[in-house]
Amino acid sequence: MDSKRKQAGRTALPFAFAAALAAAAHAGQGCGDNRLPPRDLPRADEQRPLPRWYPERAWSEQGGDSQVYIEGKIVFDTSKAVIRPGSEKTLETLLQFLKEHPEVTRLRIEGHTDAQSSEEHNQQLSARRALAVADWLVDRGVENIRLIAVGFGESRPLGPNEIAAGRSENRRVEFHVAEVNGRPFQGQDPYAGGLALEVLSLEERKLRAAQAAQPKAPPPRKAFVATGDEIKPVPVKPPAEAEGPEGEPLTPSAPAKEAPAKGGAPATGGG
């Protein structure tokens, strides 16, 4: 009986010791390892949808959609119409689209902003940004008559302006087919109601830039013309008549007679 008990004790001791080591290791890991557990990747149906400017499909006249989806995004300096580096790939893709689709006789470039400033400022800014894209295309051989630059400001948001992600979605440039073979696409307004700016040719822009750089001369001074002596009539009012008692005009008095000489006889001339 004693031998059996000893054998059972020998068998239980390693298990108890192993359990104690495992518990100590688990306790130490909880205190020293703060790594987060691995996170499962989201499923395809849970992923965030791509923004509207992503090329979901190629444009075709039969598709009925005027928007041309270009991968990437054109970005600008804050509150300016200066295209920032990193936008070249999107611009090059747009340039290639115009080369491959000569039937698109007019393309509308739309500028959109967030609502961080006044409506007037945002509409002007969005139109100037659309014009900057049009000028970039004209500089690379696109005829200016094929391009329409319009600004819509903050009037057509894609996301809420209360959060940064929504404002980033709203700051964008879109491209829409306005005319196909000289006819408005699906009979729609080519300008779509936006604020349009004139797209000039490269030569016209250079000429206007040269004119603006020239210093403006002061206006010519008028030549001195002598008028000579001038006689101007001076109005003279007649003197007012003096009035006597009870409003009767005074008559001029007769000249006074000479007083008689002393001695009673008037003085006479000598003979």
pLDDT tens-place string over residues 54-103? 555 678 888 888 999 988 899 999 999 999 998 999 999 999 999 999 99
3-state helix, strand, coil in the chain (%, to 5): 35, 15, 50
What average pLDDT does range 139-163 have in this prediction? Answer: 95
Distance, in Å, from the CA atom of 192 to the CA atom of 178, rounded to the nearest integer, reads 9
Measured over all CA atoms, what is the biggest interatomic distance in the chain, rounded to whole angstroms? Answer: 212
Residue type, 104: V
* Amino acid 20: pLDDT: 52
The answer to pTM > 0.75 is no
Helix (H) or strand (E) holding 21: helix 2-32
Other beta carbons within 10 angstroms of residue 133's beta carbon come to 24
